[in-house]
Amino acid sequence: MNYPNGKRSINSSSSGNHGLQRSFSNRGMSLEDDINQTNDYYLAQNICVIHKKPTPVQIVKVDYPKRSAAVIKEGYFKQASTTDYNGVYRGRYIDFEAKETRNKSSFPLNNFHEHQIKHMKAVAEHDGITFVIIRFRAHNQTFFLPAVKLFRSWDSQYSDGGRKSIPYKQFVAEGIEIPSRYPALLDYATVIEQLFF
């Protein structure tokens, strides 16, 4: 897929085995799958309503190798996406981005886009709850970091000698490790409750 400016998107490893039943022992295979399963549980238990935002795509070229099968050969994102998930929890608007890294010592800030940061800042200005969920695969840990803490790191990278990444130890010190339990594989609502209510 391509963004509206014609640049190719980075192939994401977040596409999972949708429709397949997963067990708790498979946790960690995909951050997106874990969040989606948790969101399904939250919805079923009437805890909150959080959904993954669909990304509008314009399909340009399709091949039909068989009458019953179509293969998309070229497509473009109609607009730059904001964040991955949004919804409502206890009457408050929720908006967050989820990322994972194989890096052991830090999380590169170039994994975020300027328009995502601007979007999260706008949500925060309107008293919405906005945050990032970051998984360090090497440590098998997933952290909840309020967006206001991300903003400090994002803005400081533009100063002389500013870091271009957030150290792992900063997530340990300033973030909250999200508890893992079944059936809420990433029970981030307990962290929202702790920080905002």
Residue 84 annotated in ligand binding: yes
Q: Is residue 169 part of a domain?
A: yes
The Cβ-side half-sphere exposure at 139, using a 13 Å CA radius, reads 18
Residue 36 sits at φ, ψ, to 5 deg, of: -65, -40
Q: Hey, CA dihedral for 176, 181, 187, 191, is it positive or negative?
A: negative
Task: Per residue of the chain (197 residues), give pLDDT as tens.
Answer: 444 444 444 443 333 333 333 333 334 458 999 999 999 999 999 999 999 987 666 677 777 877 777 777 776 655 566 888 999 999 999 999 999 999 999 999 999 999 999 999 999 999 999 999 999 999 999 999 999 999 999 999 888 778 999 999 999 999 999 988 888 899 999 999 999 99
Domain extent for 127: 39-53+80-196
Pairing of strands 176-177, 106-108: unpaired
Pairing of strands 129-136, 92-101: parallel
Q: What is the pTM of this model?
A: 0.74
Residue 101 annotated in ligand binding: no
83, with CB counted inside 10 A (0-12, 13-18, 19+), is buried
Q: Is residue 22 part of a domain?
A: no
At 133, is the secondary structure helix, strand, or coil? Answer: strand
Residue 40 annotated in ligand binding: no
12, with CB counted inside 10 A (0-12, 13-18, 19+), is exposed
Q: Please state the domain count of the chain.
A: 1
Spatial separation of the C-alpha atoms in residues 75 and 62, rounded to whole Å: 9
Q: Is residue 65 part of a domain?
A: no
CATH of residue 133's domain is 3.40.1350.10
Q: Is residue 70 part of a domain?
A: no
Q: Is residue 31 part of a domain?
A: no
